[in-house]
Structure 1
Amino acid sequence: MSFSWAKAYEPKHPFMRWMDERLPLPRLVYGAIGGGYPVPRNLNYWWNFGVLAGIFLTIQIVTGIVLAMWYFASADHAFTSVEHIMRDVNAGWLIRYAHMNGASFFFIVTYIHIFRGLFYGSYKAPRELVWMLGLVIYLLMMATAFMGYVLPWGQMSYWGAQVITGFFSAFPLVGEPIRVWLLGGYAPDQAALSRFFSLHYLLPFVIAAVVVLHIWALHIPGSGNPTGVDVKDERDTLPFHPFYTAKDGWFAAAFLGLYAIVTYYAPNYLGHPDNYIPANPLATPAHIVPEWYFWPFYAILRSFTVDFIFPAKLWGVLAMFLSILLLFFLPWLDKSPVRSGSYRPVFKRFFWLLVADVVILGYIGGAPISPARVAIGQIAAAYYFLHFLVILPLVSRFETPLPLPASITDSVLHGEKAEAAPAGQKPRHGSVATAAAE
């Protein structure tokens, strides 16, 4: 997606010209996020969360590097090293709380980013690979977050590692050897803590590398937009800078303000109090739960309570993994030619039912087990799979979409008077200006 208005990069400063001739990095940045990258002119604020995810990834990497300077990956001293960071290191409490809450906010903006993609059909051609790379980033985030949750070596860290790695033992024959290989033993201990710390430090850089691929893949077809209509000409676009850098900038500042409020005034609100108790293999917590961003999948796991051919635990683990993996197949499950949910009235209703269903699963996954909650979780888990495997394919096949706008520009104008076309250029067919001229 390139148009004649997109100015070529022309360095003016002698040093920048010298740099551009030898290492054209400024040219690359200009083409990626500067005036050389045309973006649809109708992007709304739901498109800001991709940039926010990149900001929080940066925050996590920077704060994580600082914390690693003080953290001691030892089963005997990990908990006390975290307390030392909180109490004795200059601004250690701030760095630790910023990292801890940064993980939650990273998942918040990522979930909003994913659901925006689901509503506006960001997984549809020609952006299938963009969607899949985003899901790879999400899976890497989950692995990184789980390993990071273990590092404080509190009660919930220890027993969370025990329960989560125990999922693999549900697989016949190979399950238990895989679990022992992951932990480096038969229970979480020094070997598990050392390898989890190593991987937790490494994986954010892997995530950053996949983010580069994600952005690269996005720049080939160009950004999607709320209408789902392809860009027709240069009037449908704006340069990313300064229009969207300004829009992203003030929105990021507002969202980071919320993040700062939580970090300063409610730093433990999204955590679990049991993690301030040192790990004790001989004392099992009354209610073992993962971090809140895993609760919907934990609810799906717990929804299987009856053995049928295979043990219920195996069915639960398979369903939990499948609930994420089936998102990779959305480009083929949803065959509607219309991308945006704004023009799909039936799809829109089922989309909001899915959002409510995931919220219910999240509540069930974080709440103590009871017969009523198990029943609600089973219904919600069944609907989750029903939505993607049955409802979505049927809706995409039989739904009658609303008429699409002729172009992105027409959708922006909403019937208002269009700007006069340049001299010697006729207004486009189907535009408001054309209708007025006729």
Structure 2
Amino acid sequence: MSFPWAKEYTPSNPVMQFLDEKLPLPRLVYNAVGAGYPVPRNLSYFWNFGVLAGFFLVVQIVTGVVLAMHYAANAQVAFATTEHIMRDVNWGWLMRYAHANGASFFFIVVYLHIFRGLFYSSYKAPREMIWLLGVVIFLLMMATAFMGYVLPWGQMSFWGAKVITGLFGAIPLVGEPIQIWLLGGFAPDNAALNRFFSLHFLLPFVIAGVVILHIWALHIPGSSNPTGVEVKQESDTLPFHPYYTAKDGFGLGIALILFFSMVFFLPNALGHPDNYIEANPLSTPAHIVPEWYFWPFYAILRAFTVDFLFFPAKLLGVIAMFGSILVWFFLPWLDKSPVRSGHYRPLFRKFFWFGLIPAMVILFICGGAPAEEPYVMLSQLATAYYFLHFLVILPIVSQIEKPAPLPYSITEAVLGSDKKAVLGENATPAV
């Protein structure tokens, strides 16, 4: 977004002047994350998670490239090369633990980023494209993480690949050919491992490209803010640098403390012990479970246990699992409320905190639990509410609720409703 009060980039060094004239990369950085990019002055720490997601994406790419130098995508030696990385490669254990736990932290900050967007309605106009690109990034993350989970070729890797690719077999007519095409055969083996390794290496760079589009789309309307009120005057904004680089730096410091605490002291806490057993097609684990960040969608998949008309339960589960993410694409048009921030929407806030959040917590718990009662029933109830919230409750609430009064401006919300705050100037009382 172009603000008339944004600072212009004026290099004084002759080298920087030459570079700015021939290849204006410093100007691009200055206008993207520097003093040339004004942002709302009331952003809370909930706005840190986008930067943290970008940081952990970089961690995944760097550690992944190093690991790929020592990994062999062959079913006969894949497990052995993984152990070779852990035991024989210099700092290999650190690279692998950083990569494995980095994936978990990447999903943690992205989930928090998504829920912040849901509460503050960051999907509303004029920021629909930012939201839609964000959902695309999440889908790419899910695909990348699934294929990465297969690569160590442990028991959970093999059986997770067999179960998830088997879902495509539920599609009528074309399901089985698609499943065979994905695996390169009738079961996970060398062909599947090679394909998954290639795509797992490629997709993070695709994600990085979509992230660039995501940031580009963000800079057109500018950042949202906790009040949902658009920028009206210069006093509503602050330069991104140094104010928010410092704030993001503090958040990054806290995240790094937690991240390295996991890497050094609890490296396997978020993994599954069966994945330290080499894949055996003849020995099915008692309880097949994906990584924790797939649990809510796995719970939705297993919530369908009864055929409906000519739709088998497995197909209904697959449709619901993919639909639980695809419904996010339609949020800009399902939520018709003129108010963005959940702070000023009392009815929406109740359904969000006491409906959607508990439903997601239940799905997380049930997705990692065995497929038995009471977890199946709880999954069914939480799944029903999940879709009810987005497809029924949200559109109705946006039409009938009476929002609380909004502040006149971001400055008023921060400093108060006196004349100086509203006008954003050092006004003196009229005589």
| Residues 91 and 221 of structure 1, relative CA distance in 2, 3 Å threshold | same
**Superposed displacement of residue 436, structure 1:** 6.7
**2:344 maps to what in 1?**
343
Which letter maps to 2:333? W
| Residues 12 and 433 of structure 1, relative CA distance in 2, 3 Å threshold | closer
State yes or no: 1:180 paired with 2:180.
yes
Please give the root-mean-square deviation of Cα atoms over the aligned residues, in Å. Answer: 1.5
Contact in 2 for aligned 1:40/1:223 (Cα 8 Å): yes
Secondary structure at 2:116 match in 1: helix
State yes or no: 1:222 paired with 2:233.
no
- Please list, as runs of the form range in 1=range in 2, the aligned pairs for 1:282-361 lying within 5 A after superposition: 282-309=282-309, 310-352=311-353, 353-361=355-363
Give the distance between the partners of 1:337 and 1:242, measured in 2 at CA: 33
Secondary structure at 2:280 match in 1: coil
| Residues 358 and 432 of structure 1, relative CA distance in 2, 3 Å threshold | farther
Secondary structure at 1:28 match in 2: helix
Contact in 1 for aligned 2:419/2:427 (Cα 8 Å): no
Task: Name which of 405, 408, 425 aligns with 1:406.
Answer: 408
Gap runs ≥5 in structure 2: none
Secondary structure at 2:79 match in 1: helix
**Superposed displacement of residue 414, structure 1:** 3.4
- Please list, as runs of the form range in 1=range in 2, the aligned pairs for 1:220-259 lying within 5 A after superposition: 220-259=220-259
**1:58 maps to what in 2?**
58
**Superposed displacement of residue 417, structure 1:** 8.4
**Superposed displacement of residue 370, structure 1:** 1.5
**1:168 maps to what in 2?**
168
Gap runs ≥5 in structure 1: 420-426
Give the distance between the partners of 1:236 and 1:317, measured in 2 at CA: 46
Task: Name which of 383, 393, 412 aligns with 2:395.
Answer: 393
**2:207 maps to what in 1?**
207
| Residues 173 and 44 of structure 1, relative CA distance in 2, 3 Å threshold | same
Contact in 1 for aligned 2:155/2:275 (Cα 8 Å): yes
Give the distance between the partners of 1:301 and 1:414, measured in 2 at CA: 49
**1:132 maps to what in 2?**
132
Measured against aligned partners, the alpha-carbon deviations of 1:130-163 in whole angstroms (never above 9, x if no partner) come to 0000000000000000000000000000000000
| Residues 346 and 195 of structure 1, relative CA distance in 2, 3 Å threshold | same
**Superposed displacement of residue 230, structure 1:** 0.6
**Superposed displacement of residue 5, structure 1:** 3.0
| Residues 69 and 301 of structure 1, relative CA distance in 2, 3 Å threshold | same
Secondary structure at 1:371 match in 2: coil
Give the distance between the partners of 2:291 and 2:176, measured in 1 at CA: 24
Contact in 1 for aligned 2:420/2:427 (Cα 8 Å): no
Which letter maps to 1:387? H
**Superposed displacement of residue 415, structure 1:** 5.0
Which contiguous aligned blocks of 4+ residues in structure 1 show a shift greater than 6 angstroms?
A: 431-436
Give the distance between the partners of 1:411 and 1:116, measured in 2 at CA: 19
TM-score by length of 1: 0.96
Secondary structure at 1:70 match in 2: coil
Contact in 2 for aligned 1:410/1:432 (Cα 8 Å): no
**Superposed displacement of residue 18, structure 1:** 1.3
Secondary structure at 1:238 match in 2: strand
State yes or no: 1:118 paired with 2:118.
yes
TM-score by length of 2: 0.97
Give the distance between the partners of 1:376 and 1:84, measured in 2 at CA: 42
Give the distance between the partners of 1:179 and 1:391, measured in 2 at CA: 36
**1:424 maps to what in 2?**
none
The count of aligned residue pairs is 429
Give the distance between the partners of 2:265 and 2:387, measured in 1 at CA: 39
Alignment identity in percent? Answer: 71
